[in-house]
Amino acid sequence: MTAILAIAGVTVRDALRQKLAVNLLFFALALIAASLTVSELTFGEQYRIIGDLALSAAGIFGTLIAVFLGAGLVAGDVQRRTLYPIVAKPVSRTSYLLGRYLGLVATLLLNLAVMAAATVGVLALYRGGLGALPGRTLAAAFLGLAVQLVAVGAIAILFSSFTNTTLAAIFTLALAVSGHFARDVFVFWRERPLLRSLGLVLPNLAALDFKVAVVYEDPVPGSQLLWALLGGLLYAACATSLAAAVFARRDLR
Amino acid sequence: MRGVVIAAALLLALPLGLAARRTLAGMGVDRPYDVRYLPDPKSLRFLSPGLQLTIANSYWLSTVQYIGERRPRERGMEKLFPLADLVTTLDPRHGYAYQTAGIVLSGEGRLEESDRILRAGIERGPGWWSYPLYLAFNAFFYRGDTEAAAFWAERAARTPGASTNLAGLAMTMKVRSGSPDDAVRLLLELREAAGDETTAAALAEQLKLAVLQRDFARLDAAVARYREERGRPPRALEELVQAGLLPALPEEPYGGRYYLDVSGVVHSSARDQRFKPQEPPRDPATNLPVGVKRPPAPPPLAPSPSP
């Protein structure tokens, strides 16, 4: 456990030093702040523009950070050969992978917390106070976003465990985008159970997207939120387990 | 050295400014705001997973720019319906898109498109009571179809949250053939429901036209009465006030004044437009305006007992 936490700590420190991740976070924050100005271009429904733009920026840039950081973690260590001194120590490959993944999740949640604070700040500025915001719905939206990033990070680690950084990033991005089609797969192949089961392979990111609820200030039912969060976390757990199994059998010579 | 730099900067400033101006002109900055290409709404809805709301908002901002263009006559309003349709297909709950597009399109004389977007708002939108009220206005004011107007006004009155004045308005339309005063009342109700400046401005323009028609009707009636009583038309409108047929001359809504021609017909110096309602398109099967259902037939009377 100590080894896992140590590797996670190193991963967070490495990630915070990476220019790409910091730049993406900067752009997300700039877009969130700009949503106040962009909303001036409309009339009547400025709140919807600010809420949507800020949450979209957090979602898109959070996903990009998850993809590019996650894809390079294991594959990058293999390519740079920095993995060998670690596995030569009494640290199992699973512990190494879990440490890397936990570090990635901690970094993503830290980034998301910064973006969430900026979003809430901008919305509170527009509405004239925190009390005027749909607090529970906003919390549900950011919880959903957090689990989305946890799932995308797990997919990135899975691909990173058996291929190179570039391919892992491409595969992860493709699966993250297709995750928003998961519901459509179930609807489209309603009559064909075999093809319909393909929907289970995709991460159901659409179920974790509560932007519309924030924009229209709809309450998110507790059971719907819990099932969606549970589904996302279980998907991430499956992907990480698969990554550990693949990585344990990988020939590193 | 500094002088050379300043001189070079000054020498370059003129061609640079010219190039920038030509480039911007080529990009159409001097032309009225327009949208070049609009994708198919259903395809875009399918191809934008997770971002439908964001794309809808982006097109909504384009719609606002399109409506707010200061020189709309140079460009026309052909793209407004496709824009509103795109926004509402991607985000069916976007209440303002139906409302604003509906009222601006009717103001531009694009009645069919106005009706279509308002009906879409009733079918798939948030179901605001202003949508059927706008449809009532289109039917009543532009088409002179009081039957259809009464149907939509009644529907608006029955929508939850509707203004309490609507029931009376619907009843008025049912029992009367419709008068310019009703159009003004309807517009005042619509203006209350607008909730945003752009729609309110579009309504204010239509309100001016309705007030003009109301004033023409009142002045025509007073002139006709004067002619009946005196056997000749008045020489000027002021005579109507002196004869006690009008309390005062109405204020012309476009900033001009009302006057009489030699044959005794009232005109406006600013916008001399007498409104001629269009005949609404009718369903050949029922002979009712399109979209209006025939009310259920009353139950047959019981045969009266024979004496």
Average pLDDT over every residue of A39-53: 81
User: Nearest by CB to B61, which of A41, A177, A212?
Assistant: A41
User: Nearest by CB to B54, which of A42, A45, A52?
Assistant: A52
Residue of A nearest to B198 (CA): A43
Least confident segment among A238-247, B24-33, B40-49, B237-246: B24-33
Is position B68 within any domain? yes
Average pLDDT over every residue of B265-290: 64
Residue with structure tokens 């990476």?
A: A18
Is position B53 within any domain? yes
User: Nearest by CB to B57, which of A48, A59, A177?
Assistant: A48
The answer to whether residue B304 scores a pLDDT higher than 50 is no
pLDDT of residue B29: 65
**Structural domain containing residue B96:** 44-196
pLDDT of residue B45: 85
pLDDT of residue B285: 60
pLDDT of residue A168: 93
Q: Which residues of B touch A49 (CB under 8 A)?
A: 57, 60-61
pLDDT of residue B300: 40
- pLDDT band at residue B307, thresholds of 50, 70 and 90? very low
Count of structural domains within chain B:
1
For chain A, the average pLDDT equals 88
Is position B90 within any domain? yes
For chain B, the average pLDDT equals 80
pLDDT of residue B299: 40
Average pLDDT over every residue of B254-260: 90
The answer to whether residue B28 scores a pLDDT higher than 60 is yes
The answer to whether residue B106 scores a pLDDT higher than 60 is yes
A209 in reach of chain B (CB within 8 A): yes
**pTM over cut 0.90:** no
- Reported as a single tens digit per residue, the pLDDT across B148-207 is 888 888 888 888 877 767 766 766 666 555 567 777 777 777 777 666 777 777 778 778
**Structural domain containing residue A113:** 2-249
Most confident of A105-119, A176-190, B174-188: A105-119
Asked if A49's CB is within 8 angstroms of B61's CB, the reply is yes
Is position B48 within any domain? yes
Average pLDDT over every residue of A168-187: 87
Asked if B54's CB is within 8 angstroms of A43's CB, the reply is no
Is position B223 within any domain? no
Indicate if the alpha-carbon torsion angle A110, A115, A121, A123 is positive or negative: negative
Candidates B58, B78, B59, B77; CA nearest to B69 is: B77
Mutate to test the interface with A, among B42, B48, B57, B198 (most CBs of A within 10 A): B57
Average pLDDT over every residue of A139-160: 95
- pLDDT band at residue A230, thresholds of 50, 70 and 90? very high
Asked if B60's CB is within 8 angstroms of A42's CB, the reply is yes
The secondary structure of chain B as a DSSP string is: -HHHHHHHHHHHHHHHHHHHHHHHHHTTTTSPP-------HHHHHHH-TTTHHHHHHHHHHHHHHHHH-S-HHHH-STTHHHHHHHHHHH-TT-HHHHHHHHHHHHHTT-HHHHHHHHHHHHHHS---THHHHHHHHIIIIIT--HHHHHHHHHHHHHSTT--THHHHHHHHHHHS---HHHHHHHHHHHHHHH-SHHHHHHHHHHHHHHHHHHHHHHHHHHHHHHHHHHSS--SSTHHHHHTTS-SSPPPPTTS--EEE-TTS-EEESS------PPPPPB-TTT-SBTTPPPPPPPPPPPPPPP-
Q: Which helix (H) or strand (E) holds A26?
A: helix A19-38
Residue length, chain B? 307
pLDDT of residue A99: 92
Average pLDDT over every residue of A191-220: 86
* Domain of residue B64, CATH code: 1.25.40.10
Average pLDDT over every residue of B7-12: 86
pLDDT of residue A197: 78
Mutate to test the interface with A, among B33, B45, B51, B99 (most CBs of A within 10 A): B51
The CA–CA distances, whole Å, from A82 to A67, A93, A243, A250 equal 21, 14, 19, 16
pLDDT of residue B294: 46
Average pLDDT over every residue of B213-235: 87
Q: Tell me which of A228 and B297 has the higher pLDDT.
A: A228
Q: Tell me which of A78 and A157 has the higher pLDDT.
A: A157
Count of structural domains within chain A:
1
Asked if B65's CB is within 8 angstroms of A43's CB, the reply is no
The answer to whether residue B279 scores a pLDDT higher than 80 is no
Q: Tell me which of A127 and A239 has the higher pLDDT.
A: A239
Asked if A59's CB is within 8 angstroms of B60's CB, the reply is no
Give the percent of chain A with pLDDT over 70.
99
Is residue B66 within 8 Å of residue B33, measured between CB atoms? Answer: yes
Q: Which residues of B touch A46 (CB under 8 A)?
A: none
> What is chain A's alpha carbon radius of gyration, rounded to the nearest angstrom?
19
The answer to whether residue B222 scores a pLDDT higher than 50 is yes
